[in-house]
Amino acid sequence: MTTRIALIGFGKIARDQHQPALAAHEGFDLVATVDPQLTADATSTPASFTDFDALLASDVEVDAVALCVPPQHRFAVACQAIEAGLHVLLEKPPGITLSEVADLEQRAATAGTVLYASWHSRHAPAIEAAREWLLPQTVTAVEIDWCEDVKVFHPGQAWIWEPGGLGVFDPGINALSIATHILLRPFALREATLDVPGNCATPIAARLAFVDTNGAPVDAIMDWRHEGPPRWQIRVVTDAGELRLEEGGGRLSIDGDVRIDEDKDEYGGVYDRFASLIQEQRSEVDLRPFTHVADAFMLGRRRTVEDFHE
């Protein structure tokens, strides 16, 4: 059975990733888009609305929504959708606080709808193979290097610098979503340094020092001031060799031997998972990546750096 779905928020991520993934997916039918600033692209869907209330009041039949609005606005829209009996997919991060996402999970359980807090990077081509290889190994150290140019990948997105926008953790949480999935042992933050521009509320760079339950260090560098090609890579040292994930999970090598090197189709995997959850009538809300970010804001020493100007 095809699920009729609406995209709420039709900005860059919705146009670049969600719309193509839905167009290629047999399990979904994109029936509407909602965005206060409609673009010409939005008219390519059967129905377009400037606000969610208008969609709910229309005769367009919808079973589910994918929320691609900035995280500061996600909770209110998700509450409306759940109250209307719709299944809800949350783009990452799932919200701006842990408590509001826990609230959404309870609301969905009470309403009998599906809530899916998606982590698209977990669906990169090499992730499951990396997880399988690591399962029997003893990890001795992990290094995360997640650096990109904010002016290239997040142009004109002022909300990322506001409270709840996460700053560099908006992409950095992708690395944490991968690490929490492929590493067998949990890890916890011990210290962090956050570089915050003087004219912003969120960090432009972060250094994080985690330790897993066996004492192995898990160190992360995230920086939006990086110039040139992005570095989205994770290095895992084990008793059986060294695993490297590069290209955000598109490439996997073991001791220098490349095992997987494929173009990423992460959002196809996201919607495969959402379709399965709807069929099984169960929610999936893994808050571990978001919890690590919250811990960084709690424990991190903030350093004021030069103002950011796009």
Question: If we measure between CA atoms, which residue out of 300, 140, 114 comes closest to residue 235?
Answer: 140
Q: Which residues pair with 187 in a beta bridge?
A: 212
* 92 assigned to active site: yes
Helix axes 98-111, 74-83, angle to 10 degrees: 10
Residue 81: phi and psi, rounded to 5, are -65, -45
Residues 67 and 42: beta-carbon distance below 8 Å: no
Identify the three-state secondary structure at position 67. Answer: strand
- Position 96, amino acid: I
> Dihedral (C-alpha) 298, 146, 162, 227: value to the nearest 10 degrees?
140
> Dihedral (C-alpha) 72, 151, 167, 10: value to the nearest 10 degrees?
20
Q: How far is CA 87 from CA 133, 205, 285, in A?
A: 34, 35, 13
Question: If we measure between CA atoms, which residue out of 68, 20, 45 comes closest to residue 263?
Answer: 20
Question: If we measure between CA atoms, which residue out of 52, 118, 69, 51 comes closest to residue 90?
Answer: 118
Report the catalytic residues. 92
